[in-house]
Amino acid sequence: MKIGLIKQVHEDLHPAPPSHPENPLRMNAALRVVEQSDIADNLEILQPGTASIEALYNIHDRRYVESVKKVSDEGGGYLDGDTYATKRSYQAGVKVIEGAVWACDRIMDDDYRRIFLAGRPPGHHAEKKRGMGFCLFNNIAVAAEHLIAKYNLERVAIVDWDVHHGNGTQNIFYERDDVFFVSLHQYPYYPGSGSANERGEGRGEGFTLNIPMSSGSGDEEYETAFKNIIMPELDKYEPQMILISAGFDARDRDPLASINLTESAYTKMTGHLVDLANRHCGGKILSIFEGGYDPTANAESLYAHLKELMRD
């Protein structure tokens, strides 16, 4: 089955400072591998058109968005000790948001059932009023909000398997029941949140599912979590759309963490979500790149992820 691929690596708009781990190479190298592989014929390279970014302001405080623009307009700088912006990073961030919104529209219009957005800057650490952890705007949260606001979806699932807890996404939807947020992550580790007792509040109680993973966990532990915890919960939720925060930094070779997944884990995790999507939402999945800092591991993991997304 053909799937869509959106490439928004933005090496020109969002170049990294010297030696910074969040750099264009981490995804460009992986894209070269998959585009020269045996799955290339089932990848359709998509060029997003302009799209409304009104959902950006439904997710992020307008003053925060303006502050990011101001930092870029003034030549760039750091939002915190890790999170940089260049003179055109605001433009890059907006383009990824547009790409996510446009991809949602293509999927909801039945042009594609599944799309992978290879975008940077990443997004899942960005909270309502601040960027952090290399992230400027929360791309996946904006996508979920767009689906709810434009298409009146009542149940959107976000599965975040980045090795770091998706604190920004959790923060944004913590008191809502129209988004079921699942995160598997190394714990305790950056950013410090994501304990199992963080389950949501108010209307959102029970719609946040954190699965902390100990340092050294591998394929078996992740498979057990998917089969015994995640899939039963998501089957009960019956999502109308599935979004994936696809970080590949839980790989055994990644330099920024201590989880030991192989590429096989990404085949199995993706496979579970493909089956879930086929059961509940006509196979609809949007996957958005997050972390992953070893180019070779990213290439292997992306190949496994995309190949399984192609399964009908």
Catalytic (active site) residue 125: yes
Nearest to 139 by CA among 162, 159, 119: 119
The one catalytic residue in 125, 146, 272, 305 is 125
The alpha-helical segments, DSSP class H, found in 36-166 are 54-59, 62-73, 89-108, 139-151
CA 110 to chain centre: 21
125-129: which pairs have CB atoms within 8 A and are 24 or more residues apart?
125/164, 125/166, 125/167, 125/168, 125/191, 126/60, 126/168, 127/167, 127/168, 127/171, 127/172, 128/59, 128/60, 128/61, 128/64, 128/171, 128/172, 129/60, 129/61, 129/63, 129/64
Grouping H, G, I as helix, E, B as strand and the rest as coil, residue 268 is: helix
Distance (Å, whole) CA 202 – CA 177: 9
Residues labelled as active-site residues: 125
